[in-house]
Amino acid sequence: MMDLLRRILRALFALLTTRRVDGLEHVPPQGPYILATNHLSRIDVALIGSLFAKKDLTGWAAEKYERHWFFGTILRLGGIIFIRRGEVDRRALGSAVEWLRAGKIFGMSPEGTRSKTGALIRAKTGAAYLAMQTGAPIVPIALTGTESAIRDLLRLRRPYLTVHVGEPFTLPPVPEDDRTNGLRRNTDEIMCRIAAMLPPQYRGIYADHPRLKELLAEAEAHL
């Protein structure tokens, strides 16, 4: 059923949108790893699912979608783990940790919700926590165009979507005596890696982060 759903999604995106996808060669051949992406639209999950046709891929979705007649059905078919927002959902966290420890792939947006402006917002520490608990590397993904895709389709325009996949990286260990700051530093590392692949107008709260400036300088030096 999941394979059929992904084939349908791929066909719909090919039919209705124009996509540019870069960096798929960076994706490891097998898990465990964490796909970390910015979040612009409800269709982001479907877009990622259509590109990463893996049977062992899952992720989180807000619990409010579980009973939605359309999104809930698609998400359940995709094996999504529903999570309660606004609190520490230990069941959802534990399920994600077990998934990764089993050598599988977990996709998520560290921001935890869609950006209303299209630019990055302050991320939560969930991705860094999963990496700390499992040692799984992070595969950063930067999306553009999905924020206006539904509006474009309603106006009979073909949306232009871009997906940039970065090189996997491993986060440094989190000090036992300073977990809060360690998780925040690692979260900023994830978000700055995503921001470095985005156009300036999408970088949001991370636009002036010192780590982003370092990454951009490193990328320029390699040109």
Q: Which of 41, 166, 170 is nearest to 115 (CA)?
A: 41
Tell me which residue has tokens 């893996």.
54
pLDDT tens figures, 152-177: 999 999 999 999 999 999 999 999 89
Domain count, the chain: 1
pLDDT band, residue 222 (cuts 50/70/90): confident
Question: What domain range includes position 167?
Answer: 2-221
- Residue, of 42 and 140, whose pLDDT is higher: 140
E runs forming strands in the chain: 18-22, 33-37, 57-62, 81-83, 105-108, 138-144, 160-165
79: domain CATH number is 3.40.1130.10
Kindly tell me if the per-residue pLDDT of 79 is higher than 80: no
